[in-house]
Chain A
Amino acid sequence: MSSFIIGQYMPKDSIIHRLDPRTKMLIVFFFVITIFIADGVWSYLILLIFAILTTTLTTIPVKYIAKGLKPVWWIIIITLVLHLIITKEGPTLFNVMGWDIHQGAFIKGAKISLRFFLLILMTTVLTLTTPPIAITDAVESLLKPLKKINVPVHELALMMSISLRFIPTLMQEMDKISKAQASRGLDMSTGKLKDRAQAILPLFIPLFINAFRRAEDLAIAMEARGYRGGEYRTKFRELRFKRQDVVVSIMFLLMIFLFCLIEF
């Protein structure tokens, strides 16, 4: 569990880390859209090169990322295999145990797998290089126009940052509770399925009770400090676009331009 890196932040001092979170979010957003438009081999190659370049620039060891995405590898492999079995397009290549494997299946399977891989890789790079709080700030800043039509943007951002903030806390708590119950003889890994299912209760009841207690404490603490939403509130960390953001954005636009040239 601990080696699974989706959503984790890895503090380092690279150019990607220093970018404005809004730049990163917008790039990832448009990158994902581009992934779903891409069709030809060359377009995928461009996207792949861009993704690899970005990943390299983060200075996070590739081995660490590859290992952390282990569960994702499995999904990718399963997708590929399913495509090989189900898709029946193009000429038959060969025959495995009575199943015809078509050429189209290879192409389609590879495409979907690559799409999925790029999608996960870029979003992971985003979360690896951006602290959750910066992501929330970026969301709030990007959604600001929606305030005009009475969308509670600040409150949504606050809810997001609170839930992000408490994920590690709750995971730690879960770890502690499962250790405490293991000391009392709770066994999750052996026994009948029914017993194992029941073993969830001693973990989840304390976890939920603690979560509610924490929520209440937090609400009281916020009220005690006079918190009342986004009105008249200034920010300690103000987001500002810098030159590096412009440079990176131009590079991204260039890539999109190249992509469009090849694709259309």
Chain B
Amino acid sequence: MNLDFKDVSYTYQPNTPLENRALEDINLSIRKGSFTCVAGRTGSGKSTMVQLINGLLRPTQGEIVAGDFSLTQGKNKSIKELRKQVAMVFQYPEHQLFEETVKKELIFGPKNFGIKVTDSQIEQVVKAVGLSSELLDRSPFELSGGQKRRVAIASALILDPSVLILDEPTAGLDPTGQRQLMDLFQILQSQGKTIIMITHHMEHVLRAADQLIIFDQGRIAVQGKPIEVFSDQEVLRKSGLQPPDEFLFLDELKKQFDIDIPYKGQTLDELVSEVVKAIKLRDLS
């Protein structure tokens, strides 16, 4: 489903001395099947923004249109229906596990939504997140941190949502675990799911995202294709972010040797050969 924010503002504890405007006049749209990354400092409003999408918070002003659903300040009866389609995986989702076995943990969501899942569906999801189905009868608390994280992500995926929201899903995982999860999310996108991910890893953004939105003090500092956003390092730095190594390297190359190679999604190998070519050309002249 397409997601649209129309002049959305959100205020925590309105009309008290502790009033805190978390979002101000946000306008953005996320197309069906796209991969959107959201970044920004702590307290910049990014978590608030994703919580508005599946109705955990209601906008103080404005409207959010999610497919056929419209979220405004008033009560929305169909919120459960929306959450069936928009799954949310919080930061450190392993902290939400509570069941006796992994299998029970996985069918907790479907049971709440009144959906029947077959054993083969469970096995499929477990395999998709890279766990062995032997773990299904074990207690989730016996698993390692990375395995717990996968169980939590699987418990969201088993609902087969059309939108998947992830809040720093790779935080605290080793590089291999991070890459495996990122691969999984890209596969899910290729299956037609809309992915919205909060992350600080600009490398992940560069590899996976179609759109990058950076929040700063409750407003959108910049949004666009990752490559375009990264080309303006000033804005990035203001939001406490660092562009991926490729950009830093090419920048330095330009400064020190006056070799200008624009970045348009080359792999490392391609970059190396381009740089070599450029140096050889310069030596010739």
Contact = CB atoms under 8 A, between A and B. Distances in A.
Query: Chain A contact residues (Cβ within 8 angstroms of B): what range?
Result: 20 to 34
A60 B51 CA distance: 32
Contacts of B156: 183-184
A176 interface: yes
Interface in B5-42: 13, 16-17
Contacts of A61: 17
Given A179-B51, A185-B112, A206 B17 contact: no
B141 interface: yes
Contact residues of A: prevailing secondary structure: helix
B141 A187 contact: no
Given A64-B16, A202-B108, A187 B98 contact: no
A56 interface: no
Given A3-B13, A205-B98, A206-B97, A183 B141 contact: no
A145 B93 CA distance: 48
B13 A183 contact: no
Given A202-B98, A206-B95, A184 B108 contact: yes
A206 B96 contact: yes
Given A180-B96, A187-B80, A3 B16 contact: yes
Interface string A31-73: 0000000000000000000000000000011001001000000
B88 A183 contact: yes
A176 B95 CA distance: 10
B97 A185 contact: no
B17 A201 contact: no
Interface string B41-61: 000000000010010100000
B149 to A, nearest CB: 13
B215 interface: no
Nearest to B112: A185
Given A184-B155, A185-B83, A185-B113, A177 B13 contact: no
A182 B98 contact: no
Nearest to B155: A184
Nearest to B87: A183
Contact of A179 (B90, B109, B111, B159): B90
A2 interface: yes
A210 interface: yes
A181 interface: yes
Interface string B223-260: 00000000000000000000000000000000000000
B84 interface: yes
Interface in A1-18: 2-3, 10
A61 B109 CA distance: 44
Contacts of A64: 16-17
A44 B71 CA distance: 51
Contacts of B90: 176, 179-180, 183
Nearest to B88: A183
B84 A185 contact: yes
Interface string A141-179: 000000000000000000000000000000001001101
Given A183-B83, A185-B112, A177 B96 contact: yes
Nearest to A179: B56
Contacts of A3: 13, 16
A209 interface: yes
A91 B129 CA distance: 78
A1 to B, nearest CB: 11
A64 B15 CA distance: 9
Contacts of A60: 17
Given A182-B56, A183-B56, A201-B98, 16 more contacts: A64-B16, A176-B95, A180-B95, A180-B96, A182-B83, A183-B156, A184-B96, A184-B112, A185-B80, A185-B84, A185-B113, A186-B112, A187-B80, A187-B112, A202-B96, A206-B98
17 contacts: A2-B13, A3-B13, A64-B16, A64-B17, A177-B96, A180-B90, A181-B96, A183-B54, A183-B56, A183-B87, A184-B96, A185-B80, A185-B111, A185-B159, A187-B80, A187-B112, A206-B98
User: 10 tightest CB-CB pairs across the interface, nearest first?
Assistant: A185-B112, A205-B98, A183-B88, A184-B109, A180-B96, A185-B113, A180-B90, A179-B56, A202-B98, A206-B98
